Amino acid sequence: MSDKREKIEIVSPKESNILKFESMKDYIGKNVVSKSGEHIGSILDVLFIDKGVQGIIVSKGFFSRYYVDRAYFHTVSDKAMLSINPVILLVKKVVFDADGKRLGKVIRVKRKGKTNELEAIVVKKRFYSKAREISKADIDVMKKNIILNKMYE
């Protein structure tokens, strides 16, 4: 993004070349892509601590917002590439058991604290049906949708 930095007067005791610095403008609005290449939103805000970038707030649609720590960044260039597939995005994915039975959709994800480590998913078939919790150990495939490694009644 050109902001005509080369014409700007510099007031600094040591830096004379400000062209090498990154601008916040370069980050905001940039698309965020998960490890599997899925577009998962765009950067809404960049959070700093002690003068360093700590993480980004990703916006997906009108209401969905989440914070991704810099530990999960791979690169930020044309797009912000993450080194993970955020497990919170498993919500709304369809769950099949090992026998091909459709158990419903993921309504909630249980994680280890606030990390990206999955502990269990909560699945519900219909609005009025009872939700069931499925442990990570029972999950066989967790990509486009979820396939379990055992059968459920």
Distance, CA of 123 to CA of 43 (rounded, Å): 29
* Smallest separation, CB 147 to another protein (Å): 5
Contact of 79 with 34, CB cutoff 8 Å: no
Under DSSP, is residue 8 helix (H, G, I), strand (E, B) or coil?
coil
* Smallest separation, CB 72 to another protein (Å): 15
Q: Is 50 exposed, middle or buried (0-12, 13-18, 19+ CB in 10 A)?
A: exposed
Nearer to another protein, 25 or 144 (CB): 144
Find the distance separating the first CA and the last CA of the chain, reported in whole Å: 56
* Smallest separation, CB 78 to another protein (Å): 4
Using CB under 8 A as the binding rule, whether residue 101 contacts another protein is answered as yes
Using CB under 8 A as the binding rule, whether residue 94 contacts another protein is answered as yes
- By CB under 8 A, name the binding residues for another protein: 31, 33-39, 74-75, 77-81, 85, 93-94, 96, 99-102, 141-147
